[in-house]
């Protein structure tokens, strides 16, 4: 099994000791994969969607969107005449209602 070796190596100060850690390559790759997945979870993915974007995501028409907002209690924000909804709110709805992306019948 191949190993990668990491350490501080030669330091400017002769008083400090060098520290090395040997990690098997497959374990190192597993740790990197885990860190990448954690990093993605921490990224703010929640975005405000317009009515058009919400309808596209759900595969419904604007009239159905108004009905769905009331029927399923979708939390929205209104800015002037625009109705905005968080992407996470629609993803929760889709998971709760077992919906896939694309056209959905009421």
For 51-100, write each residue's pLDDT tens digit.
999 999 999 999 999 999 999 999 999 999 999 999 989 988 888 877 66
pLDDT at 16: 66
Tell me the per-residue pLDDT of 89-104, one tens digit each, with 9 for 90 and over: 998 888 887 766 544 4
pLDDT at 6: 56
pLDDT at 14: 54
Alpha helices in the chain (DSSP H): 25-42, 51-58, 62-71, 87-96
Higher pLDDT: 29 or 43? It is: 29
Report residue 50's pLDDT band, with 50, 70 and 90 as the boundaries: very high
pLDDT at 90: 92
Report residue 106's pLDDT band, with 50, 70 and 90 as the boundaries: very low
Higher pLDDT: 39 or 26? It is: 26
CA-atom Rg of the chain in angstroms: 25
CB atoms within 10 A of CB 69: 16
Q: 100: closest CA among 72, 45, 59?
A: 59
Rounded Cα distance between 72 and 98, Å, is 13
CB atoms within 10 A of CB 76: 16
CB atoms within 10 A of CB 41: 7
Distance of CA 12 to the CA centre of its chain: 42
CA dihedral 34, 36, 42, 48 (to 10 degrees): -130
């Amino acid at each position: 099994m191949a190993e990668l070796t990491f350490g501080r190596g030669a330091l400017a100060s002769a008083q400090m000791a060098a520290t090395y850690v040997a990690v098997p390559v497959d374990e190192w790759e597993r740790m990197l994969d885990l860190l990448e997945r954690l990093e993605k979870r921490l990224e703010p993915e929640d975005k405000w969607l317009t009515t058009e974007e919400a309808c596209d995501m759900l595969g419904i028409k604007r009239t159905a969107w108004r009905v769905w907002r009331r029927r399923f209690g979708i939390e929205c924000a209104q800015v002037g005449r625009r109705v905005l909804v968080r992407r996470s709110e629609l993803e929760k709805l889709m998971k709760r209602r077992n919906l896939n992306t694309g056209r959905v019948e009421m």
